[in-house]
Amino acid sequence: MLKEQLSKLKLEGELLDDQKTLEDFSHDASLFEIKPDTIVAPKNSEDLKKLVNFARENKELIPTISLTPRAAGSCMAGGSLNDSIILDFLKHFNHIQEIGDGFAIAEPGVYYRDFEKETLKHNLILPPFPASRELCALGGQVGNNGAGEKTLTHGKIEDYVLELNVVLQDGNEYIFKSLDEHELKEKLKAKTFEGDVYRKIHKMIEENEEMITAAKPDVSKNSAGYYIWNVWDKQKKTFDLTKLIVGSQGTLGIVTKIKFRLVAPVKNSKLFIIFLKDLTNLSQIVNVVLKHKPETFESYDDYTLKLAIRFLPDLIKILKPKNIIKLGFQFLPEFWMTLTGGFPKLVLMAEFTGDTNEEIDATMKLVKTDVDQFKVKSRAIPTAEEANKYWVIRRESFNLLRHHIKDKRTAPFIDDIIVKPEYLPEFLPKLNKILQQYDLPYTIAGHVGNGNFHIIPLMDMTKPLSHTLIPKIAEEVYALVLSYKGSITAEHNDGLVRSPYLKQMYGEKVYKLFEEIKNIFDPKNIFNPHKKVGVDLEYSLSKLVNK
């Protein structure tokens, strides 16, 4: 146990290794379980510097020693699990330091829900929030390169990070931000560990520029691997290592502070709903809706809708309606549709925004005309209160599954695939064919405007068959995704669940660059090992839960 040795560092934060705390930190929202040695709640950057120096200096004596940062623990990929030291950022690194003109500075342990409340007071928002907006923290959003319903218009977290304070393996804290050519030259001259990092990454990009450019997935968002293609912007002539650290899941260094770019939220928005009985015209419908530039374009399947109706009391608690009878009437269109034509196979949600409601209504009339040609049921939702019911169903589908299915559990292992929307009519039937041969119940929800879907099967993890099926299904699904030049993860990142497949996605040569990036930043492998590189499928499967 490391607690006794760590106590000699005289940290200002807490050290914990009691069984309840270790059990709590053995899980996140993924399918994995790893019991850590010790939990440290660092008080400040000085604590983190001491811990990094301790881990680096003792790596040969204690080969398994490592530091894994953890914020809210809502990762669905097992990114915040490890068997050595877990760094709990929620306890002390939870301050919003400044909200200024179009930016905010905050620590990684701030919950997004608290962050948004404060930024909205300044009429500002960080738009790429995930569906887990009530559960996640800023550190996880940066570590995973998070995204969500507004990503269609506003992009991912990588587009909003202006600066990162990071403790690197030499035990010093550095500020990373976009550099112009003159600033880059100065960094390349620096006789420091940071200077070495800049020199080696710069050289890597120069020597492998063509291969790096070609490696970027041909989709609108991607969280797989290290984003080396984003570092050097030839048009702007800027060099920005935050683009590499974002989405790295704490494997390159420890983020202590984040400066975000913020934007003003839209003034008015309304929701347009489309009910599809089958997927025959999905691509055409998606394309005609995208033509009208919705701010968000989401979807969920029939199983998700059935769950929402089945567990309506829980949904009502989340909705907190002022009038329950009125809420019941709001569900009448779904009940009537079920009686007259059965459950829709897919529900599409397109949110339109504008300066006035009249402007939005005019747009939605055009959308209605365009989708009517496909003979599908659709409706413009008149009020924000009624629209909220659809948002809650979409955002809470995963939690409904987790909390109500007693004999099985949610199994997020193919939960974040993405292909271009034009491929969906071919892709989705092939995907369903793969899943249906295994007779597994599953929900599909996601960001249809991006072609990004979250597929959550239900499995009994006490049965050995489930452990056998997971790699088999994953291999088939990922092969299908890659045949359409997609990505195995659009926003949930690699963690334990997808890191073993990165070589399959990118090829041997690009994977070697990923290994080199890890070695440049972390030559002793002390930062969150077994993520991104240095992990095989056998290791990941050995950490699957058995309950």
In the chain, what are the domains?
A: 3-88 (3.30.43.10), 96-261 (3.30.465.10), 268-483 (3.40.462.10)
- Taking the C-alpha atoms of residue 507 and residue 511, their distance in angstroms, rounded to an integer, is 6
* Token pair of 88 as six digits: 């709990």
- Record the pTM: 0.93
CB contact at 8 A, 515 and 200:
no
- The amino acid that residue 208 corresponds to is N
Helix axis angle, 424-436 relative to 282-290, nearest 10°? Answer: 130
Would you state the pLDDT for residue 337? 61
**Could you tell me how far CA 283 lies from the centroid of its own chain?**
25
Between helices 332-341 and 302-310, what is the axis angle to 10°? 120
Please say whether the dihedral angle defined by the alpha carbons of residues 487, 248, 153 and 348, taken in this order, is positive or negative. positive
Q: Where are the alpha helices (DSSP H) in 175-311?
A: 181-189, 193-207, 209-215, 242-245, 282-290, 302-310
Return the pLDDT at 306.
76
Determine phi and psi for 223, rounding to 5 degrees: -125, 15
Spans of the chain below 70 pLDDT: 309, 311-342, 396-406
The alpha carbon torsion through 387, 138, 399, 270 (nearest 10 deg) reads 10
User: What is the rounded distance in angstroms from the CA atom of residue 112 to the CA atom of residue 97?
Assistant: 14
| Count of CB atoms situated within 10 Å of the CB of 186 | 11
Q: Count the residues in the chain.
A: 547
Looking at residue 148, its pLDDT comes to 92
Q: Is 461 helix (H, G, I), strand (E, B) or coil?
A: coil
List strand residue ranges (DSSP E) for 375-487, in order: 377-380, 409-410, 414-418, 442-447, 452-459
Return d(Cα 45, Cα 546) in angstroms, integer.
Answer: 37
